[in-house]
Amino acid sequence: HFSVHFFLPRSHTDSHHIPGTRAASLVELGSSMDTKHADSFDERDVVVDAGCVRAVLGELVLTFLFVFTGVAAAMAAGVPELQGAAMPMATLAGVALAQALAAGVLVTAGFHVSGGHLNPAVTVALLARGHITAFRAVLYVAAQLLASSLACILLRYLSGGQATPVPVHTLGAGIGPMQGLVMEVILTFSLLFVVYATIIDPRTTVPGYGPMLTGLIVGANTIAGGNFSGASMNPARSFGPALATGVWTNHWVYWVGPLVGGPLAGFVYETVFMVTKTHEPLLGWDF
């Protein structure tokens, strides 16, 4: 099982971004409200607040749909609540395909609303590099966790008569917590590296295709890591099933791994590969 997400929500002020760059345009996608015509500071403040509310609600809806689809696909494929023996490749590929399609389509659909993060690891990675304010990041993560919880509780209710319960991310047979942790760090690093290369970097040669390409790396990583750690890459994707079932075994792995791998990818990409400075860091608790 596992997950995805991203991108840059609207900045609280245009002055933080270099005009004409791809990153500058991406930062403006978190809200469709235009502050240019506000007649006073108070009016502009209300407009930004409305845009932030819409973005947070967007994360709530998008993450709900993503987790609902991914978990339902795993249930339909017969993935058990607690992973024991390795999943057959056909089962793993089916789950990977569903999650890849859901991630790519939903990120594309919600990109202009909230940036389509769907994943605390993406939000924290962008926060660490100053692409999103702490205030908005906290709201995004809260919305993502709430959405995942609601999706899994609903699925547990809907599947009450089925033998297959809500699957929980657990370590594969013979895989220890540290091995699972390293796997989650690497998989999430891979995910965020693709996000940076195809979406955030203004030199990208595939503008517009970044969300779908991100979905592909989610699918590939699910196949690669599914029988090791479950290939979460997303704390919210792991949190909902754990809450719905009450199974928290090694749950910390699915927080520490992604929250280390995601920001690490952002640091490496911006430090080594991104030659064009796209913004000044957004700090504080503004919108």
Would you say how long the chain is, in residues? 287
Q: What are the tens digits of pLDDT across the range 51-102?
A: 899 999 999 999 999 999 999 999 999 887 776 668 899 999 999 999 999 9
- State which residues form the domain around 59: 14-273
* Residue 227 falls inside a structural domain: yes
Residue type at position 152: C
Q: What are the tens digits of pLDDT across the range 253-270?
A: 999 999 999 999 999 999
Query: Which of 237, 260, 217 has the alpha carbon at shortest distance from 2?
Result: 237
Residues linked to residue 279 through DSSP beta bridges, in sequence order: 17
* Residue 280 falls inside a structural domain: no
- Residues 200, 21, 24: CA angle, nearest 5 degrees: 65
Q: How far, in Å, CA of 161 to CA of 112, rounded? A: 39
Highest mean pLDDT: which of 13-22, 70-79, 139-148, 196-205?
139-148
Give the contacts of 55 (CB within 8 A, at least 6 positions apart): 9, 10, 30, 31, 113, 114, 115, 136, 140
For residue 88, the domain's CATH number is 1.20.1080.10
* Residue 96 falls inside a structural domain: yes
Query: Which ranges constitute the DSSP H helices of 28-133?
Result: 41-76, 89-110, 120-128
Which of 12-16, 49-53, 156-160, 171-175 is the least confident region? 12-16
28, two tokens: 């403006």
* Residue 111 falls inside a structural domain: yes
Per-residue pLDDT for 284 more than 70?
A: no
In the chain, how many domains are there? 1
The answer to whether the predicted template modeling score (pTM) of the entire model surpasses 0.95 is: no
b/e 211-233 (16+ beta carbons within 10 angstroms → b): bbbbbbbbbbbbbbbbbbbbbbb
Query: Which of 85, 228, 244 has the alpha carbon at shortest distance from 168?
Result: 244
* Residue 39 falls inside a structural domain: yes
Per-residue pLDDT for 245 more than 80?
A: yes
* Residue 253 falls inside a structural domain: yes
As to burial, measured by CB atoms within 10 angstroms (0-12 exposed, 13-18 middle, 19+ buried), residue 146 is middle
Q: How far, in Å, CA of 279 to CA of 51, rounded? A: 20
